[in-house]
């Protein structure tokens, strides 16, 4: 069977909006924000230990974002390989989604705010590193202390932008079948790179932020996208959802057990742990794209509910806003209003700040970002425009 007809058939079957993916995006942001807003510090009472473990493990939301990005971006690229505007459409759409809000926030923080007010001392002290934010290179400099206070989370956006620059050229010359082999090589290289950096005693932050150390997450998302675009593999996967469900669950449990509860900078986490976690998330994305039954179907239905889809829609703004809001406003207000910090107060603070961040992100999306997102339709082939509108 030739690749061309197979690709076309598979793309027809799977190129649709999947509501559960919005919920998965919501789940990712609801892991990341509590992790970054966590103020609990050991020692804590034993009764609070489960909360501490959960909040610490929230970094896996970034891993989930990477896998999801690899899945969605690769799927889109595979489905438009024959388009005459393949590159311009892809880069234009990515720019319209990422850059308006990103650069607007940087302009407010580093151009407007200094002109009208005195910046907080931590921001003034680190503002000389802002060039790495403007150029999407913060993930290479932050591990060595060249980050900007309150904007440390922008490193993951830098990783994704670097991925966007290279991946379209790879996908253009690869059928889904060939892409699977390329992705397998990428996964192996990422794992090898992390092992080498551990051996060379690089700081754990480098293994966490360097693009080539996290590219296995993006590649495994791409694997899932390629698999469901190969008809005979898609047919086999559609009859194997129970096995996929159990495999994903077992991989998550094994990874948690083998990494001391998903300890962020544990060597086991930063070597094989990243890869196993990404593989489990890729299997979950497969389940979202495949017809499922029983418990898996119930979970996907929950992920596709309107509240979670709404959070998923606003997740980018929530990610952009949450850490500056926490660093420069939230902590100060908490200290003034709440007195001595307890676990209950910390958790209540996280809930309130997540809600505030959601509200701010909703306003940003509806009043600002959406103006740019509407332009994306002009960068799609006619038969893709309706689909794009439903995914925006």
**Tens-digit pLDDT profile for residues 188-232:** 999 999 999 999 999 999 999 999 999 999 999 999 999 999 999
The predicted-structure confidence for 277-327, as pLDDT tens digits, reads as follows: 999 999 999 999 999 999 999 999 999 999 999 999 999 999 999 999 999
Q: How many domains does the chain have?
A: 1
For residue 381, pLDDT beyond 80 = no
Percent of the chain at pLDDT exceeding 90: 82
pLDDT at residue 340, rounded to an integer: 79
Cα gap 74→221, rounded to integer Å = 8
Q: Is the pLDDT of residue 3 over 50?
A: no
Per-residue confidence at 180, pLDDT binned at 50, 70, 90? very high
Of 168, 171, 172, which Cα lies nearest the Cα of 180? 171
Instruction: Give the pair of three-digit tokens for residue 279.
Output: 């593989």
User: H/E/C letters for each residue in the chain?
Assistant: CCHHHHHHHHHHHHCCCCHHHHHHHHHHHHHHHHHHCCCCCCCCCHHHHHHHHHHHHHHHHHHHHHHHHHHHHHHHHHHCCCCCCHHHHHHHHHHHHHHHHHHHHHHHHHHHHHHHCCCCHHHHHHHHHCHHHHCCCHHHHHHHCCCCCCCHHHHHHHHHHHHHHHHHHHHHCCCHHHHHHHHHHHHHHHHHHHHHHHHCCCCHHHHHHCHHHHHHHHHHHHHHHHHCCCHHHHHHHHCCHHHHHHHHHHHHHHHHHHCCCCCCCCHHHHHHHHHHHHHHHHHHHHHHHCCCCHHHHHHHHHHCCHHHHHHHHCHHHHHHHHHHHHHHHHHHHHHHHHCCCCHHHHHHHHHHHHHHHHHHHHHHHHHHHHHHHHHHHHHCCHHHHHHHHHHC
The average confidence (pLDDT) of the chain is 92
pLDDT value at position 228? 97
pLDDT at 335 over 90: no
The conformational region for residue 241 under phi > 0 = left, psi -120 to 50 = alpha, else beta, is: alpha
Does position 384 have pLDDT exceeding 70, yes or no?
no
Range of the domain at 281: 3-391
Once rounded to an integer, what is the mean pLDDT over residues 162-178? 96
Q: How many CB atoms lie within 10 A of CB 178?
A: 14
Residue 15's pLDDT band, with cuts at 50, 70 and 90, is: low
**Which of 156, 143, 142 shows the shortest CA–CA distance to 64?**
156
> 371 pLDDT band (50/70/90 cuts)?
very high
Q: Which residues contact 90 (CB under 8 A, 6 or more apart)?
A: 76, 77, 80, 164, 168
> pLDDT tier at 6 (50, 70, 90 boundaries)?
very low
The whole model's pTM is what?
Answer: 0.92
Residues in the chain: 392
From residue 338, how far is each of 27, 332, 333, 334 by CA, in Å? 28, 10, 8, 5
The lowest-confidence range among 219-228, 265-274, 378-387 is: 378-387
Q: Could you report how far apart the first and last alpha carbons of the chain are, in Å? A: 35
77/93 Cα distance (integer angstroms): 12
Return phi, psi of residue 347, to 5°: -65, -40
The average pLDDT across 96-106 equals 98
Q: With 70 as the cut, is the pLDDT of residue 7 above it?
A: no
Burial label, 20 (beta-carbon count in 10 A; 0-12, 13-18, 19+): buried
Higher pLDDT, 131 or 12: 131
């Amino acid at each position: 069977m030739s690749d061309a007809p197979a690709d076309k058939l598979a793309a027809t079957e799977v190129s649709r909006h999947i509501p559960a993916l919005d919920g998965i995006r919501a789940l990712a942001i609801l892991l990341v924000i509590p992790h970054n807003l966590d103020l609990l510090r050991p020692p804590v009472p034993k009764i609070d230990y489960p909360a501490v473990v959960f909040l610490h493990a929230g970094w896996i939301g970034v891993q989930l974002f990477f896998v999801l990005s690899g899945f969605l971006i690769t799927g889109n690229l595979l489905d438009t390989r024959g388009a005459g505007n393949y590159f311009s459409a892809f880069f234009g759409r990515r720019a319209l989604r990422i850059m308006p809000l990103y650069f607007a926030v940087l302009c407010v923080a580093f151009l407007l705010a200094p002109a009208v007010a005195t910046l907080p001392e931590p921001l003034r002290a680190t503002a000389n590193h802002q060039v790495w934010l403007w150029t999407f290179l913060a993930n290479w400099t932050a591990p060595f202390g060249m980050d900007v206070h309150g904007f440390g989370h922008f490193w993951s956006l830098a990783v994704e932008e670097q991925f966007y620059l290279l991946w379209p050229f790879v996908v253009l010359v690869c059928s889904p079948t060939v892409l699977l082999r390329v992705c397998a090589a990428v996964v192996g290289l990422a794992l090898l790179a992390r092992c080498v950096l551990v051996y060379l005693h690089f700081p754990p932050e480098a293994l966490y932020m360097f693009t080539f150390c996290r590219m296995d997450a993006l590649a495994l998302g791409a694997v899932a996208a390629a698999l469901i675009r190969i008809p005979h593999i898609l047919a086999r996967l559609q009859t194997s959802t129970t096995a996929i469900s159990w495999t994903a669950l077992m991989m998550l449990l094994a990874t948690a057990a083998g990494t001391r509860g998903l300890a962020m900078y544990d060597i086991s986490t930063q070597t094989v742990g990243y890869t196993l976690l990404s593989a489990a998330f890729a299997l979950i994305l497969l389940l979202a794209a495949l017809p499922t039954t029983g418990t898996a179907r119930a979970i996907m239905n929950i992920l596709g509910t309107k509240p979670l889809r709404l959070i998923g829609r606003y997740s980018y703004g929530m990610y952009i806003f949450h850490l500056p809001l926490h660093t420069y406003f939230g902590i100060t207000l908490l200290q003034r209003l709440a007195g001595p910090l307890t676990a209950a107060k910390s958790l209540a603070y996280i809930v309130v700040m997540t809600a505030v961040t959601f509200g701010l992100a909703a306003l940003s999306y509806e009043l600002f970002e959406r103006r740019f997102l509407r332009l994306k339709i002009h960068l799609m082939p006619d038969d893709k425009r309706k689909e794009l509108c439903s995914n925006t």
